[in-house]
Amino acid sequence: MAREITVATVQMEPLLDQMEENLVKMSEFITRVATEQPVDLIIFPELVTTGYELGPRFPHLAQRIPGPTVNLLAQRASELGVHIAFGMVTKKDVESILYNTAVLIGPDGDVLCQYNKVHLRGEEQITFRPGYQIKSCETSLGDVGLNVGLMVGWDLAFPETARSLVMQGAELLIVCANWEEPHVEEWRVYLQARAYENAVFVAAANRIGEEPSYTFFGQSAIVSPYGEIYASAEEPSEGYAVATIDMREVRRRREETQVLQCRHPQAYRAVVKKY
């Protein structure tokens, strides 16, 4: 049975503190991507609805799930019959507790999963609370469904994140990111490393543009379990990378390498120590 899906990673420049304009641009991208070719999954960057360097403004823009932003994008997903993954700032019952969150919406408009970024970097640690769960989720992608995992930004630098998702059954890792200059080579290496070491597809959307302290370089990409870059957005301009991927490659790669079967968890105790 064929298990092919088409994935698009959108390389977008969100406007700082302009949520309405960003949602309009996202909606336009969704329509453009879905009408230019059949597509199953559209991925947007981290904090794409607000921009990154907002500091004390984040509490005013944080929303619950479900909420206005999720409801709007759920409507677009349902209209076009696609899955949509994107990053936003969220809050729960306590207004002052904020999370840097990735959300995955299904083609029926349902929230399939949300993930709160675990590995916060720099000033993010002042604004956000780290997530505490790394969980994969089941989707209707592919003919027989597909288990996927969400990652946000700097999570990519920690192999434990990807491996935790893969050990729960993930065959596709979705990365919503705001990686900034000068870390281009680091970004590329991590994308391929996470794909190689887990025999998994990695689809990553990284933003572009400038904010007061950062310049973001894009380089959104879709990488195979063999480390092959199927599609990428090389130029730091708005657009998207798209590729059709055959999920049977995951099984082939894992059977060839036995990378998961040959693990020795009892020897890895030091990995879960804090220091």
- Interval 222-238 mean pLDDT: 94
Q: In this structure, what token pair is assigned to residue 57?
A: 């403004």
The pLDDT, as a whole number, for residue 69 is 97
How far is it, in rounded angstroms, from Cα 242 to Cα 220?
A: 10
| Cβ-Cβ contacts under 8 Å for 247 (sequence gap 6 or more) | 3, 4, 5, 142, 146, 171, 172, 201
pTM equals 0.96
How far is it, in rounded angstroms, from Cα 253 to Cα 268?
A: 23
pLDDT digits (tens, 9 = 90+) for 32-46: 999 999 999 999 999
- Interval 104-121 mean pLDDT: 97
The pLDDT, as a whole number, for residue 207 is 98
- Interval 82-87 mean pLDDT: 98
How far is it, in rounded angstroms, from Cα 111 to Cα 119?
A: 23
Q: What are residue 99's DSSP bridge partners?
A: 90
Least confident of 88-97, 176-185, 240-249, 258-267: 88-97
How far is it, in rounded angstroms, from Cα 275 to Cα 28?
A: 46
pLDDT band at 191 (very low <50, low <70, confident <90, very high): very high
Beta strands in the chain (DSSP E): 4-11, 41-43, 83-91, 98-105, 111-116, 137-139, 146-152, 172-177, 201-206, 208-211, 214-217, 221-223, 229-232, 239-246
pLDDT band at 266 (very low <50, low <70, confident <90, very high): very high
Handedness of CA 60, 66, 69, 71 (dihedral sign): negative
How far is it, in rounded angstroms, from Cα 151 to Cα 115?
A: 7
How far is it, in rounded angstroms, from Cα 56 to Cα 147?
A: 36
The pLDDT, as a whole number, for residue 95 is 74
Query: Per-residue pLDDT for 81 more than 60?
Result: yes
Of all residues in the chain, what percent are helix, strand and coil, respectively (each to 5)?
Answer: 30, 30, 40
- Interval 165-185 mean pLDDT: 97
pLDDT digits (tens, 9 = 90+) for 13-35: 999 999 999 999 999 999 999 99
Q: What single-letter DSSP state applies at residue 227?
A: S
Query: Per-residue pLDDT for 1 more than 70?
Result: no
Q: Which domains does the chain have, with CATH numbers?
A: 4-272 (3.60.110.10)
Residue 41 gets the label, from left (phi > 0), alpha (psi -120 to 50) or beta, of: beta
The pLDDT, as a whole number, for residue 255 is 96
Query: Per-residue pLDDT for 239 more than 90?
Result: yes
Query: Per-residue pLDDT for 2 more than 70?
Result: no
pLDDT band at 272 (very low <50, low <70, confident <90, very high): confident
pLDDT digits (tens, 9 = 90+) for 127-170: 999 999 999 999 999 877 899 999 999 999 999 999 999 999 99
Among residues of the chain, what percentage have pLDDT more than 70?
99
pLDDT band at 124 (very low <50, low <70, confident <90, very high): very high
- Helices 19-36, 68-80: axis angle to 10 degrees equals 10
Least confident of 34-38, 95-99, 165-169, 199-203: 95-99
- Interval 234-245 mean pLDDT: 94
Q: What are residue 108's DSSP bridge partners?
A: none
Query: Per-residue pLDDT for 211 more than 70?
Result: yes
For 39, what's the count of Cα atoms within 13 Å in the CB-facing half-sphere? Answer: 25
What is the overall mean pLDDT for the chain?
95
The pLDDT, as a whole number, for residue 142 is 83
